[in-house]
Amino acid sequence: MTSAVPVSSKLPDIGTSIFAVMTRLANEHGAINLSQGFPDFDCDPALVEAVAAAMRAGHNQYAPMPGVLALREAIARKVAHCYGASYDPMTEIVVTSGATAGLYATLTALVHPGDEVVLFEPCYDSYVPVIRLSGGTPVFVSLRYPDYAVDWDEVRRAITPRTRLILVNTPHNPTGVTWSPGDMQRLAALVDGTNILLVSDEVYEHIIFDGRRHESILRYPDLRDRAVVISSFGKTFHTTGWKVGYCVAPQPLMAEVTRVHQFVTFTVHTPSQVAFAEFVSRDPSATSLPGFYQEKRDRFLALTEGSRFRPLRCEGTYFQLMDYSAISREGDKAVAEWLLTTHGVAAIPVSAFLYKDSGGPVLRFCFAKKDETLAAAGERLKRV
């Protein structure tokens, strides 16, 4: 159907998400889907039962707009336990419809027309459209192939009198690189004496490897006082489809985020919140998760050893970047499509996360999969 009324798009250059595109192609071609970042295994059956029990107990109506109080209290205890930070569950924590909705509410609340937002590319695909919809200007600092380290001199040059906030993501999607205490100290020095705000996407906070410590902004008083930190239960509990995340921030910042949140989703699925409150209280630091995913990472690396793909360092998240320069000189989008259609493995071209840098010969693979899925993918990748 066509419309007789002309429409002026606010995002004319934004198409369908690369994740949706690659998953659709994987389904069409019967490929093994290591592209979109979701597990192909089930969550803890006890968590499903806890949601069902909450439904049977009558928790089926609207939750309070900022979230079920028991869950906000559990988040406050978790943040104190993991990072030594104290937040009031009544005024400084809000439960959102996944981290994406938390990011949307936060950026919409804090970014005004004419503001500049410094962010690190490659970057998650929701950041830039939300900044632009709010009238802001994204200012990119490139994390460059092959080590994707932060160039702090470039960050300093990116800051201007119009800089409203800096958007942090650690552990980083798509690179799997994590920030160090030194990175946090450099960030603190840059924003000291300014009115620059911070937004920190930490959805992979518990998926971190090789004995590293997650350097949350919440650990650093000088940073957390000017920051909104966003996380998600989807990554921690293998429940990406439930879409339950949260924001933590000082009351003046959270008041602004809540103003927007109430008109985006208002509230989040009540029985899931009740169940998560129980599970977060039981194990606030998700004790077994780093080892669980480190084993997945190491298995995937072992299964692809001997292939012509070269793994780059992966310090966190459940994504592995692979250098394909020994296979092709084509761009990563062409290689990703060829790999899917010819060899039956779906991956994400890293250029989908780039705006300024040209990138490298790299594809992103998700290893949050069953052992048999990884084994089948490894066999196909070794034949490339």
For the purposes of burial, counting CB atoms within 10 Å of the CB of 3, is it exposed (0-12), middle (13-18) or buried (19 or more)?
A: exposed
Instruction: Please report the pLDDT score of residue 4 as a whole number.
Output: 80
Average pLDDT of the chain, as a whole number: 96
At 108-149, the pLDDT tens digits run 999 999 999 999 999 999 999 999 999 999 999 999 999 999
Q: At what angle do helices 251-264 and 98-110 cross, to 10 degrees?
A: 120
Query: What integer is the mean pLDDT of 1-28?
Result: 85
Domains of the chain: 18-43+288-382 (3.90.1150.10), 46-282 (3.40.640.10)
CB contact at 8 A, 102 and 264: no
Residue 40 structure tokens: 């192909």
Element of type H or E holding 20: helix 18-29
- Overall pTM surpassing 0.85 (yes/no): yes
Q: Say which residue, 90 or 26, is predicted with more confidence.
A: 90
Instruction: Please report the pLDDT score of residue 236 as a whole number.
Output: 97
Is the pLDDT assigned to residue 2 strictly greater than 90?
no
Among residues 191, 186, 202, which one has the least CA distance to residue 163?
Answer: 191
> Confidence class of residue 197 from pLDDT cuts 50, 70 and 90?
very high
> Confidence class of residue 304 from pLDDT cuts 50, 70 and 90?
very high
For the purposes of burial, counting CB atoms within 10 Å of the CB of 337, is it exposed (0-12), middle (13-18) or buried (19 or more)?
A: middle
Any idea which residue has 């802001």 for tokens?
136
At 207-256, the pLDDT tens digits run 999 999 999 999 999 999 999 999 999 999 999 999 999 999 999 999 99
Strand 163-169 to 116-121 pairing: parallel
Is the pLDDT assigned to residue 18 strictly greater than 80?
yes
CB contact at 8 A, 351 and 18: no
C-alpha span between 182 and 187 (Å, rounded): 9
